[in-house]
């Protein structure tokens, strides 16, 4: 199992992702107070991890569900964080924190 805790930024929403592999399919349990991410979670309860790691073919299901359909903000880091959890659960990446540090000068 892989877990991700994603703090989205100025919106103040946090998202908890649990990703578990069962017979080659990644099962996702996603909890968030964000209504858009709740809608996204309904559409991506199960994903093929190999589809999520490439833009070839149909491209990532998670990004397709987020793009203008569920996630209200294009810069939201949550969809990418969900994909990172899928990669780790599937053994396609090692667990490592991701950070975006933003300043205005």
Mean pLDDT (whole number) for 80-89:
97
User: What is the share, in percent, of the chain residues with pLDDT greater than 90?
Assistant: 88
Burial label, 43 (beta-carbon count in 10 A; 0-12, 13-18, 19+): middle
**22 pLDDT exceeds 80?**
yes
2-89 belongs to CATH 3.90.1690: no
Residue 64 has what pLDDT? 92
**Rounded Cα gap, residues 36 and 16, in angstroms:** 14
Cα distance between residue 87 and residue 44, in whole Å: 15
The domain spans of the chain are 2-89
Q: How confident is the model at residue 79 (pLDDT cuts 50, 70, 90)?
A: very high
The pLDDT of residue 67 is above 90: no
pLDDT score for 36: 95
Q: Specify the pLDDT at position 68.
A: 75
Taking residues 66-78, what's their average pLDDT?
88
pLDDT value of position 8: 93
- Rounded mean pLDDT of the chain? 95
């Amino acid at each position: 199992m892989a877990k991700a805790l994603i703090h989205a930024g100025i919106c103040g929403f946090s998202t908890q992702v649990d990703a578990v592999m069962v017979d080659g399919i990644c099962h996702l349990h996603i909890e968030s107070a964000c209504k858009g991410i709740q809608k996204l979670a309904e559409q991506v309860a199960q994903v093929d991890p190999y589809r999520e790691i490439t833009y070839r073919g149909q491209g990532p299901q998670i990004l397709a569900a987020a793009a203008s359909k569920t996630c209200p903000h294009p810069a939201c880091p949550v969809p990418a964080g969900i994909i990172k959890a899928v990669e780790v659960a599937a053994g396609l990446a090692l667990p490592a924190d991701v950070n975006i540090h933003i300043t205005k000068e």
